[in-house]
Amino acid sequence: MQRRNFFKALVATTVAATLLPSAFAKQQASNTRKKIKPKRLKAGDVIGLIAPASNVWENEEIAFATDVLKSFGFKVKHSKNLWQRYGYLAGQDQQRADDVNTMFADQEVAGIFCLRGGYGTPRILPLLDYELIKKNPKVLIGYSDITALLNAITARTGLITFHGPIARQNFTDYALANFKKILFNPVAPTELATPPPFAAKEGTAEKDNRLTVLHPGKASGELIGGNLSLMVKLVGSPYEPDYRGKILFLEDVEEAPYRIDGMLTHLWLAGRLEQLAGIVFGKCSDCRATKAPSLSVEQVLRDRFSNLNIPVLSGVMIGHIDDLATIPVGALATLDTSTKRLVLAETAVL
């Protein structure tokens, strides 16, 4: 009898351990539904530069990133630990978390740019002061590994964050125009991540930036997402966004089709995909099969998405690309596959 009771208790504990993190994430999401918009950016603002994931190889790249930010007329404040390096991380976890917290607490700082992605933001999520961040709203922008930081902060505080360019890159005309229309001179409604115009001529057609409807429909919802591998890392944690009624945008880089399949299957098995209102898939850069036979990425997307009965559009300008759109995480948008457009329904900044 004691043995049977022991195993019953063990099974109950295991089930609770599996379900509670997800339930906790949902509770956190419902408790922070009040949306917070940061102030828009303008020339003369002080911008904090942080490295919450990996660092660059050489300090001159930090100088380059600083000059890129100064080109907007910003004044740049470096975080205390910006030059730290700890293997593939930009310093110890506490140092990187301290820099995030400090920049949000600094009343002089109007916005925060990430130096680069790489790896490491999930490690610092438990070390962030979410109440401090909530009380000091400001623009936070980056992409790739920064996905975890953006979605966790939005889920835990309600603050709209921005999936967009990092400081260590030159802005193309496309990236610049999209960045400024979201963060400098916001207008709503406005199209998000629409491919740049193609100069058609006889004997040519658009090849690189084609939009593909994987399932037709129209839906509205708040935006969540970013890098697929980072969204998967958040599943079941207290920092995972609530997927219910949301439009999920995804991208990835240097992942074989079977790995994209595995990550999307994980989201499907975890019950996340069925909760969504719509899906937008951007670019999967250098996502080549490492061995034959293999499914294509397009076929993987069709397998995972086509039976969800929600609108799904792929090929938009989100990803590890030069012409990168700025996407506000937590803002309301509408996806309409009949026009192949994702439209921001509200301004994301004040």
Distance (Å, rounded) from C-alpha 299 to C-alpha 139? 37
191 DSSP 8-state letter: E
The residue written with tokens 């002080």 in the block is 46
Query: Would the CA dihedral through 166, 223, 220, 208 be positive or negative?
Result: positive
Distance (Å, rounded) from C-alpha 268 to C-alpha 281? 15
C-alpha 212, offset from chain centre = 21
Cβ pair 114, 53 in contact under 8 A: yes
The residue written with tokens 């799904």 in the block is 312
Distance (Å, rounded) from C-alpha 177 to C-alpha 175? 6
Cβ pair 322, 208 in contact under 8 A: no
Distance (Å, rounded) from C-alpha 267 to C-alpha 206? 32
Distance (Å, rounded) from C-alpha 337 to C-alpha 221? 15
Stretch (H or E) spanning 236: none
Task: Show which residues are catalytic.
Answer: 144, 251, 320
